[in-house]
Amino acid sequence: MQQRWEHMVKNSKYVQIVPALNAGLSNLCKWYCSLNNSSIYFICLVLDPCVKMAYFQKHWEEEYLEAGTESLRNMVSHFYCMLVIQLMFFLV
């Protein structure tokens, strides 16, 4: 969507809606930037059976894919450790 809008802004055919397209692009940028500060978006989509990693491997740049994968590993590792600790206290 973003790429399509960026292309439309440059096309004189859409000159009448360029202000709306720029406003939409600005809004998209705001939300994409906020996603960069949170790993939850990546983790939720990876865990979604309809999406999984295929979407990210196809559409994301390598650096973002690696950062998201690392976030997922860290989150799973954290929850696994918490589970082990709880089980240890439960079994004692």
Helix (H) or strand (E) holding 2: helix 2-10
pLDDT of residue 23: 94
What is the extent of the structural domain holding 71? 2-91
Residues 7-47 have pLDDT tens digits of 999 999 999 999 999 999 999 888 877 777 777 878 887 88
pLDDT of residue 21: 93
Into how many domains does the chain fold?
A: 1
Alpha-carbon gap, residue 16 to 84, rounded angstroms:
60
* Longest CA span, the chain: 72
Alpha-carbon gap, residue 61 to 71, rounded angstroms:
16
Given a cut of 90, whether residue 1 has pLDDT beyond it is: no
Residue 45 near residue 17 (C-beta atoms within 8 A): no
CA atoms within 13 A on the CB side of 70: 7
Given a cut of 70, whether residue 49 has pLDDT beyond it is: no
Percent of the chain clearing pLDDT 90 (strictly above): 24
Looking up tokens 């196809």 gives 58
- The arithmetic mean of pLDDT across residues 57-65, rounded, is 87
Q: pTM score, two decimals? A: 0.52
pLDDT of residue 43: 83
